[in-house]
Structure 1
Amino acid sequence: FIQALINILNNSKDALLEKDYPRLIFINSYIEKNKSIIKIKDNAGGIKEEIINKVCEPYFTTKHQAKGTGIGLYMTEEIISKHMNGSLKINNTKINYGNIDYLGLEITIELNAEKN
């Protein structure tokens, strides 16, 4: 699970390094209907709609070849879905911070919160 979070945060960090405005990452967690929900948002501009459904495919990357292998989000989805029986959702979102609207990405992790 820690590796999944590191992959997500590293992707946000890499995208934000290219921006010259305030760089923001928000992490929220809560429990809803016996599900643990973790939402990670950034204001790095989001992902083009025509490729957003491909970002968890193995070896798919939006980064320059020298900077990305395309397995980070693939591994993240594998960890969350196969090893933790959860789900991973990736959506573009708008963030308002300091009365300024930004476009960014929101990754939602849902895990079963019931005790076994």
Structure 2
Amino acid sequence: DAPAEVKNVLRQYYLRYAGPAGLTEQDDMENWNYATAASAGAEAGRYPYNYQMGLGYEEPAPDLKDAVFTGPVTEQNQRIFYGRWAEFMDADGWADLNPGDSGNFAALMARRKA
């Protein structure tokens, strides 16, 4: 419900600050170095990272061959990345990983529900 002027200022700011994923770009190495160092601290170690932003709002995107779409603010990429990483850690071998389905959202969700 913000005025159009405020929306435009924020839009311009985010276009200059954030990359396509809505995050600080990887080439901002100084920022990433500080974030990594802060994550190694005693206080940060007491709390797990929370990747729930946008959780429960996932919808298939038919135009993208059933890829997932959650809207402009989400951590779906992180959840899929770490979910796939967990599948690699749990697999006994390559046959368990179904690499042919790795880009198919419907197949990915079916595997996770099984």
TM normalised by structure 1 equals 0.27
Q: Which has the larger radius of gyration?
A: 2
Q: Which has the higher helix share?
A: 2
Greater RCO, 1 or 2 (C-alpha within 8 Å, sep 6+) = 1
TM normalised by structure 2 equals 0.27
